[in-house]
Amino acid sequence: MFGLVVTADNVLLKHEARQRLEIGAIRKEARIDLACRGIIPTETALRKWQEEHEITMKSISKDDPS
């Protein structure tokens, strides 16, 4: 039982670390894009950018038939 708990904890920690890296990369991309547009990257601006980015990615994936 102990081994199962330790393994599950390790898997969860790895998942959380990977998720933090992905979120960090998205936030970095957002900060760079917002700075290029002359917008101060506040939390609100970052959330709005992420929403716009998700809409753009969905429309691109719909247009791509492959």
- The structure's pTM equals 0.73
- pLDDT tens digit sequence for 28-61: 999 999 999 999 999 999 999 999 999 998 988 8
**pLDDT of amino acid 42:** 95
Of the pLDDT bands very low, low, confident and very high (cuts 50, 70, 90), residue 22 is very high
What is d(CA 9, CA 41) in angstroms, rounded to the nearest whole number? 34
CA distances from 64 to 50, 52, 55, 60, 61 (A): 21, 18, 14, 6, 5
